[in-house]
Structure 1
Amino acid sequence: MASQSLFDFTVKNIKDEDWNLNDLKGKVVLVVNVASKCGFTKQYAGLEELYQKYKDQGFAIVGAPCNQFAGQEPGSQDEIQNFCSLKWNVTFPLTAKLDVNGDNEAPLYKFMKESKPGIFGLKRIKWNFEKFLVDREGKVVHRYASTTEPKSIAPEIEELLKTPQQ
């Protein structure tokens, strides 16, 4: 199999339209599986802070709503979008709801989990707000647990942003 990158995938955006992630080529990207009714939902604020701080330097966030963990993302796409923008002032893009584990997992998540397994080599996403940091070439370089606060990732983002855009 040819070496894949994040930019090889197409997902549905929150409006259910095709979104070719090649649109993000050359950016440093943080991909996060998100949920509206989770104890970690407050991380939306920290994610938006990162996005605002670095977006003009070539940084992007992809929020991927997922309802696989205790049904904590039960809403429709419109409800999710409204919740994120009205309650948390989220301006970074969201995908349509997707699965991150199991038979119907999104190919994007299969790629990221195989690229960067978690602790003890486990590939499975364990909970909402697990994060993958991707470099400008589309390679997964870090994986962070749900408990990792967004602001603590800033040094790694800054390091990757030093790499010139191709």
Structure 2
Amino acid sequence: MSTDLLGLPLTTLDGTPTTLAELTGGGPALVVNVASRCGLTPQYAQLQELQQEYGSRGFTVVGVPCNQFAGQEPGTAEEIASFCSATYDVTFPLTAKLDVNGPHAHPLFQELTAVPDVAGEAGPVAWNFEKWLLSGTGDVVARFRPQTQPDSPEVRTAIEAQLTS
């Protein structure tokens, strides 16, 4: 799956065609489906902290807005960008809004949801702020459910292992 995953076509929030490889520059990445009006939205602050702490070492957070969970990301691309910048000073890349589950799920999430979490469970995205850690070669090395905080020891340990390998 690795190289293929990095080459899947995506679009940035501002409408620019891209791929995960271009967004991450070949380093490890944490792909997160995000939303602006969710009880978990404060995780943006921790995601930005991870980007600031590890970005100079080649790590990238990639936020993927999704409106499939109780309509909690209803905004336009401009509204999402403004919210993320003004509220959380987000500097990591955001893609255009995508479907992560169902018949119209983006191919990236068709692949990501096949990966099991620590409990051995694969399958659909449970809610906003589910996270997947990718190695620099695009292998999915960990899946963290929405309630797992981005700055938790298990997420940090997994990221640091990718930065030293």
TM range (shorter): over 0.9
Q: TM-score, normalised by structure 1?
A: 0.92
Of 81-90 and 119-128, deviating more is: 119-128
Per-residue displacement from partner, 1:32-78 (whole Å, max 9, x unpaired)?
A: 00000000000000000000000010100110000000000000000
Task: Report the equivalent of 1:21.
Answer: 20
* Per-residue deviation, 1:26: 2.5
Contact 2:59 2:163 in 1 (8 A): yes
Residues 158/73 of structure 1: CA separation in 2 closer, same or farther (3 Å cut): same
- Residue of structure 2 equivalent to 1:32: 32
- Kindly indicate whether the alpha-carbon contact (under 8 Å) linking 2:127 and 2:146 is maintained by their aligned counterparts in 1: yes
Counterpart Cα distance in 1 of 2:41 and 2:2: 34
Question: Which blocks of at least 5 consecutive residues in structure 1 are unaligned?
Answer: none
Q: Report the counterpart of residue 61 of structure 1 in structure 2.
A: 61
Map of 1:76 onto structure 2: 76
- Distance of 2:81 and 2:73 partners within structure 1: 11
| 8 A contact 1:7–1:25 mirrored in 2 | no
Q: Residue 133 of structure 2 corresponds to which residue in structure 1?
A: 133
Root-mean-square deviation over aligned CA pairs: 1.4
Q: Which whole-Å CA distance do the structure 2 matches of 1:56 and 1:17 have between them?
A: 24
Letter in 1 for 2:163: L
Q: How far 1:22 sits from its partner (Å)?
A: 2.1
Question: What TM-score comes out, normalization by structure 2 length?
Answer: 0.92
The Cα of 1:120 is off from its aligned counterpart by 5.4
**Could you tell me which residue of structure 2 aligns to residue 108 of structure 1?**
108
Q: Identity over the aligned pairs, expressed in percent?
A: 46
* CA positional deviation for 1:4: 4.7
What is the distance in 2 between the residues matched to 1:6 and 1:122? 17
Unaligned 5+ runs, structure 2: none
Task: Indicate the residue corresponding to 2:160 in structure 1.
Answer: 158
CA distance in 2, matches of 1:97, 1:123: 20
Give the Cα–Cα distance (whole angstroms) in 2 for the partners of residues 121 and 133 of structure 1.
16
Q: Deviations over 1:113-135 (max 9, x none)?
A: 12x13455341001000000001
Q: 1:139 to 1:5 in 2, by over 3 A?
A: farther
Give the letter aligned to residue 52 of structure 2. Answer: Q
Runs of 4 or more, structure 1, over 2 Å off, are: 2-6, 117-122
Q: What's the offset of the Cα at 1:3?
A: 6.0
